[in-house]
Chains A and B, each alone.
Chain A
């Protein structure tokens, strides 16, 4: 007994044993280093993406604005609600804006001067005032200082993206305009303010008032169509394949093809949607309905695969438990298998929805690149979803659209991060201990 004990101790202190321990520790350490490096590289790249996009885009969240006094004491505006609309249409708000500017900067001496002065502001300044007055009828009868968006050129000068101290012909704005800008700045009538138009406005030819609201609504409507179509279909297909289908070469064949579909480039689904949904079924182009259906083709395989994995992970003992209590096959699936698989199914669905949210190519294929100044009101209104909006802005020549593009990408990234976090939260929250 004691000799055996000694022999064992000898083994543990022997050189051979020590060497093997060292070797195992070394292998473990190397694996840790490799894993750590891989994660560091991945996070680093992600960080570079976020930082570079944010560095370009954050300036779009502020907007250079000019404080202009607007005289709303005109007799014709002092009318009650029903006639107010007509009155608002008759008033020349552009003139009110010009007079306001002139009261700050002094009257311009000629037509050209007047045009240059008005060019300090966005061309839609008059319309902007009209909207404000409609929303706040109590302004009527007063003189108000209103913050109006500056034109994109002024915005760029103010944010320092284009130089001021260069000869006039190399500058974005004229000497006269620069003098006005400096006077407004000195008087505190010009500053960068939070750009609510970016979040609550729609697309526009003029970058200073272009926003992502319409695009975001278009994306949401489209994703709703995608969800309503692909979740029930995907789950039904997964339930059938996993629980009811006989295991033979035919279901194997279907299985292989679903996996193939998940790997097909999305542009192909765009072509398919164009041929089937638009040409064959006559669904109107450019609408969230058409876009949502096209994206369903994309998300369906992903959802089926995720749902099958979640269903297959439900332990057979639970199915037997239900059957033993006298549940039919269908009751077993609906009351035990599906509720247990739901977290997995939802996680897969959200991730596929996030993929769909960022998808652009198939949408270009079915004409969702329309220039839309109106917020889509339903799934049959033309819409340009977020990624497409990013695409069209990125191809616009105006310098000011560059920062808008980056800012829209930031919003899209935030949405994606949010959706994926939700998926992870759901997975952790409802993780089963069987």
Chain B
């Protein structure tokens, strides 16, 4: 079903690019390898204009960091990418959001299909009050991604391994996911999201609630995941953006102020507001 709506992703996906795009490319796009394309996206909550004419690309095998002061519209933008704004009462969106060239807001496309291809990890870990196994198997079961029980077992193990959680939980797969520590829960949510086999992974401040060690584990994980997925991550930490992001986009009061290679933005911001923000953080 998914495959019939989007031309077979495996075969037509552009060849892996060995060279990461760090430090190169134009401001709003990596140019050669766009996974998602956003053109003049506007979001309104009732009368409130929360996002103004945002134009940016999300590239394959790249970590894009979204930064900006609280309330500037980062989460709003992230939710545009997987149509979660549809679930907000009174939210309205204009402009184009394309996934591999297809408009995800096409009325003929079910948002449920979009969300199964674009995974999301929320700011606060929200595992279901089910077993660890059932948490990870939730998406695959919804979408029928397996034929036999053993396939599902394998998928669950693979996802937990990739999220760096397998060793810790392999003997307690039947325990409740809510009984894990905060950092483990966050990795469980990541495992849950990647079990669907998404093309893009959206993360809203995934480590804001974690201690530096747990955060480090997840940062390493994000870097690894970026070898297969396009990742968009919201972060409030410049150091973190510096460590993991290939490109950084800076938002201010609903506008995309500037976007570009992380190095470039940090060392040589073109816009005054970006400069102030960065200096404020460092100073």
Contact = CB atoms under 8 A, between A and B. Distances in A.
A184 interface: no
Nearest to B86: A323
B87 A317 contact: no
Interface stretch (A71-79, A189-197, A331-339): A331-339
Interface string A106-133: 0000000000000000000000000000
A324 B82 contact: yes
A321 B189 CA distance: 9
Nearest to B123: A317
Contacts of B128: 318, 321-322, 336, 340
Interface residues of B, number: 27
B138 A335 contact: yes
Nearest to B124: A317
Contacts of A315: 126
Contacts of B138: 322, 325, 327, 335
Contacts of A317: 122, 124, 126
B48 to A, nearest CB: 19
A16 interface: no
A325 B196 contact: yes
B72 interface: no
B153 to A, nearest CB: 19
A183 to B, nearest CB: 70
A24 interface: no
Interface in B90-125: 112-116, 119-120, 122, 124
A327 to B, nearest CB: 5
B196 A326 contact: yes
A5 interface: no
A315 B126 CA distance: 9
A320 B113 CA distance: 15
B268 to A, nearest CB: 36
B191 to A, nearest CB: 12
A326 B129 contact: no
B222 interface: no
B265 to A, nearest CB: 28
Interface residues of A, number: 20
Contact of B120 (A324, A331, A335, A336): A324
A323 B116 contact: no
A325 B87 contact: no
Contact of B116 (A318, A325, A339): A325
A325 B142 contact: yes
B143 interface: yes
A6 B206 CA distance: 45
Contacts of A432: 129, 178
Contact of B119 (A320, A324, A328, A340): A324
A327 B142 contact: yes
Given A324-B193, A325-B116, A434 B84 contact: no
A322 B135 CA distance: 10
A429 interface: no
A4 interface: no
Nearest to B82: A324
A324 B85 CA distance: 11
Contacts of A434: 129, 178
A62 to B, nearest CB: 50
User: Looking at B127, B129, B193, which has the most chain A CB atoms within 10 Å of its CB?
Assistant: B129
Nearest to A328: B112
Contacts of A326: 112-116, 139, 142-143, 196
B192 interface: yes
B124 A320 contact: no
Contacts of A318: 126, 128-129
A433 interface: yes
Nearest to B140: A325
Given A335-B138, A434-B178, A321 B143 contact: no
Contacts of A327: 112, 138, 142
A328 B192 CA distance: 17
Interface in A278-327: 315, 317-318, 320-327
Interface in B31-78: none
B130 interface: yes
Contact of A433 (B87, B178, B189): B178
Contacts of B113: 326
B235 to A, nearest CB: 19
B130 A321 contact: no
A42 B241 CA distance: 61
A308 to B, nearest CB: 19
Contacts of B130: 339
Interface string B18-29: 000000000000
B141 to A, nearest CB: 9
Contact of A331 (B124, B142, B178, B179): B142
A431 to B, nearest CB: 10
A324 B178 contact: no
A433 B112 CA distance: 28
A323 B126 contact: no
12 contacts: A315-B126, A318-B129, A323-B87, A324-B82, A325-B116, A326-B142, A327-B112, A327-B138, A335-B138, A432-B178, A433-B179, A434-B178
Top 7 nearest A-B pairs by Cβ distance?
A326-B116, A317-B126, A324-B120, A326-B115, A325-B139, A321-B126, A326-B112
Interface of A: 315, 317-318, 320-328, 331, 335-336, 339-340, 432-434
